Structure 1
Amino acid sequence: MAINLKGKKALVTGGSKGIGKEVVLELINAGAVVAIASRHIPENLPELEQLSGINGTIIKAYGIDLAEVNSISARVNTIIHDLEGLDILINSAGMAYTNEIIDTPLADFQQVLNLNLTSVFACIQAVLPTMRSQKSGIIINIASIAAKQAFPTWGAYSASKFGLLGLTQALAAEEGTHGIKVMSICPGSVDTPLWDTLAPEVAANFDRKAMLEAKTVAEIIMSMLTLPANAVIQDLVLMPNTGVL
């Protein structure tokens, strides 16, 4: 059955590649008005602009470095003003990082937390007044199986994702009475460009052909977006059928 989100206004962080991009494509096919926030917008802008007009939808791209957490609130408020409201926030932006904790510089640890956790906090805080005023909204935070179990050399990453689940659960408890749904999804390994940012000797330990496809994760997120009004999936774990890679 075709999903219809015609007229719904959505913001997807990290929407120029990986899971975020696949979510954008799904939202466009469903007729939503979509804003993309990503630091990779300039290089991908021509391709993204071509997506406008599909199913009568509108797509707007914003070049925002979400690691610059102090500027997020103002930038997101500009997006909300441009869209004349906001119904959906998908927090997909994030980074991978591997190193043993003993060897992780404080600056690196803070960088991981800034992008994977603090930027999500800032985006959420920026959209809540609008969602509260309209007494509706959906926020989905894309976490990771690393939010459920830690792995050697992934300490900073796991810490950021464990924190993201705590933030999601607290937010859900606070915002349910305001008509806002808050959910998280924890995928296992997904074949995205994230793996290309790791050292070759790290990436070589993973079979990308056995991983989930980003499109599969996006399709599950769309199912979460279209649940009945009185239903919510608080946290969903989605794994490759081969298990943790």
Structure 2
Amino acid sequence: MNLAKNKSAMITGASSGIGKATALAFAKVGIDVVLVSRNQEKLASVASAVEQTGAKATTYALDLADIEQVREKISAIAAESPVNILINSAGMGYTGNLSDTPLSDWQAVMNLNLTSVFQCILGVLPTMRDRGAGTIVNVASVAGLQPFPSWGAYSVSKAGLIALSKTLAAEERQHGIRVTTICPGAVDTELWNSDTVGIKLERAAMLTPESVAQSILHAVLLPEQAVIEELTLMPSAGVL
């Protein structure tokens, strides 16, 4: 049985990192993808790579940090390009002691890492309920399970995302919707290059985005009677 047949996935944060790797992993098994990110130029590059595999790619430039518009825009995208899988991989890193974190920074982290995910989910939920099936994968972090010093706002946002996933799973399983939370350890992505992350770790020892993507693909391709509710994926070197 081809468990990838007739599947289509919306992937946020699809222009780089885990989102990009997931798009390519899905495409290689025949899952069409709807790519969402701020950067249209990067999205076009990912779409080109996807289409070389024979899968279909559709791109939508959307700033998920603008949370007031997210639900409406995602709902419109889902109506235009129907999907039965949602991968929430967009997010930002942030380091700094809680006592030194400005309220504006705190809110920016919560908006992108947690509230935008909530809004994306609400954007696709009605059509998934109508079909009586769907899979939602939220990319959280091991920092949401065990907070680390100097990662306060980030850890709180990911812990909130884990709680969101568990609540959603409990509410939506009656509608045939599966919810999976992936909690990776350190992953070698552009997050470590951002201005909001001031901690440097050994990137060669980190997980690759492709490793995380393979775990997401595995969860998505399980028979509908099974679900991985939560998966912690760590570098073999442990916590870096």
TM class, shorter-length: over 0.9
Q: What SS is found at the alignment partner of 1:233?
A: coil
Amino acid across the alignment from 1:6: K
Q: What aligned pairs does 1:26-105 form with structure 2 within 5 A after superposition? A: 26-40=25-39, 42-83=40-81, 85-105=82-102
**Contact 1:29–1:54 under 8 Å retained in 2:** no
Please list every run of at least 4 consecutive aligned residues from structure 1 whose deviation after the TM superposition is greater than 6 angstroms.
Answer: none
Match of 2:182 in 1: 185
Q: What SS is found at the alignment partner of 1:36?
A: strand
Q: What SS is found at the alignment partner of 2:238?
A: coil
Q: 2:213 matched to 1:218?
A: yes
Q: CA deviation at 1:74?
A: 1.7
What is the TM-score of this pair, normalised by structure 1?
0.93
Gapped regions of structure 1 (runs ≥ 5) = none
**Contact 1:145–1:186 under 8 Å retained in 2:** yes
**Contact 1:19–1:192 under 8 Å retained in 2:** yes
Match of 2:117 in 1: 120
Q: CA deviation at 1:8?
A: 1.1
**Contact 2:14–2:36 under 8 Å retained in 1:** yes
Question: What is the aligned residue count?
Answer: 240
Q: What SS is found at the alignment partner of 1:232?
A: coil
Amino acid across the alignment from 1:218: A
Q: What SS is found at the alignment partner of 2:49?
A: coil
Aligned equivalents of 1:214, 1:224: Cα separation in 2: 16
Gapped regions of structure 2 (runs ≥ 5) = none
Aligned equivalents of 2:124, 2:24: Cα separation in 1: 22
What is the TM-score of this pair, normalised by structure 2?
0.95
Q: Deviations over 1:100-121 (max 9, x none)?
A: 1111000000000000000000
Match of 1:108 in 2: 105
Q: CA deviation at 1:241?
A: 1.2
Aligned equivalents of 2:125, 2:47: Cα separation in 1: 28
Q: CA deviation at 1:152?
A: 0.9
**Contact 2:191–2:197 under 8 Å retained in 1:** no
**Contact 1:76–1:127 under 8 Å retained in 2:** yes
Q: CA deviation at 1:201?
A: 5.5
Q: 2:191 matched to 1:194?
A: yes
